[in-house]
Amino acid sequence: MPFHAKNRLLSAVLATAGTAALGLGTAAPAQAVSDPLNYVALGDSYSAGSGVLPLDPDASLLCARTTRNYPNLLAARTGANFTDVTCGGAQTKHFTAAQYPGAAPQFDALRSDTDLVTLTIGGNDNNTFVSAILACGSLGLLTAGQGSPCKDTYGSTFSDDIADKTYPAIRTALNQIRAKSPKAEIAILGYPWIVPEQSVPGCFLKMPVAKGDVPYLHQMQTDLNAAVEKAAAETGVTFVDMAEASKGHDACRPIGTRWIEPLLFGTNVVPVHPNAAGEAAMADRAAAVLGLGVG
């Protein structure tokens, strides 16, 4: 973590703790007072919280951004000067090019005095998530959930795209963020599990993926998260691993346990995305890794 960003993050935690102490009638130490963090949230639908209500009135409707996404929750922990430009469907190219009318290039929000940047990105590059889920779901329906038709049809196509195209795009984007905001702590989150390692009873009704393709999709997501982690390590960026935390909270689980809503019979406006509990879990994990443990 850059020295400047580390001190600003620590000061923000102390300031928030001091505010809480004042509420209990205990004077906060003078050194706990700090300027708020300048926090910019970038990224795709997993950062925008697409599918969770209420919608952010300041965002394009096409972004389907909520005020309950993990960046908003993180900002509330520190009282940060917060700019949220996350947008559903964003790819790495939308960091430098407009995505929709009213959704300018996300890098426009970065400044030289930005202290903290968070993001999720990569899942939409090459339409990886969309193509894999739709392809495997369609083939799963055709085989009534038997076999591994998606793996048999597409083989290593999705993972090859991640290695050959998505990974270098993420690495380039992270280097660009560092160039635009050299003092900032940058944290990129991995994606919570969409499906478990193996098929579980009853999941086909919610996620119509053939039994043999559940581990295939899980491995594809493993490869994507590994690409994100590798790009982070090579650019000096903090990686927030969601793999262990989200185990057992995938879209196959019941309401109240799952963090990702399924393709069918889910509760989100947008399926196969984090629900409110998932966004809160992402906020908790990011806060723990960044040392923003004040709730």
User: What is the reported pLDDT for 294?
Assistant: 52
Give the pLDDT confidence of 120-151 residue by residue, as tens digits. 999 999 988 888 988 999 999 999 999 999 99
Model confidence band, residue 26 (pLDDT cutoffs 50, 70, 90): very low
Active-site residue numbers? 45, 273
31 burial level (CB within 10 Å; 0-12, 13-18, 19+): exposed
CA distance 12 to 292: 8
Give the chain's mean pLDDT: 90
User: What is the reported pLDDT for 176?
Assistant: 98
Q: How confident is the model over 200-218, as a mean pLDDT?
A: 95
User: What is the reported pLDDT for 102?
Assistant: 86
Q: Is the pLDDT of residue 34 over 90?
A: no
Q: How confident is the model over 75-93, as a mean pLDDT?
A: 97
Burial 136-148 (b: 16+ CB within 10 A, else e): bbebbeebebeeb
Provide the CATH topology of domain 37-290.
Answer: Rossmann fold (3.40.50)
Give the pLDDT confidence of 146-163 residue by residue, as tens digits. 999 999 999 999 999 999
User: What is the reported pLDDT for 136?
Assistant: 93
User: What is the reported pLDDT for 52?
Assistant: 98
User: What is the reported pLDDT for 109?
Assistant: 98
CA distance 67 to 222: 29
Domain positions in the chain: 37-290
Q: How confident is the model over 63-69, as a mean pLDDT?
A: 98
CA distance 165 to 19: 46
Instruction: Spell out the alpha helix ranges (H) of the chain.
Output: 3-23, 45-48, 70-78, 128-142, 149-154, 157-161, 167-180, 214-235, 243-246, 276-290
* DSSP three-state, residue 1: coil
118 CA to centre of own chain: 9
Give the amino acid at 84.
Answer: D
Radius of gyration for the chain, computed over Cα atoms and rounded to the nearest angstrom? 19
77 burial level (CB within 10 Å; 0-12, 13-18, 19+): buried
User: What is the reported pLDDT for 131?
Assistant: 87
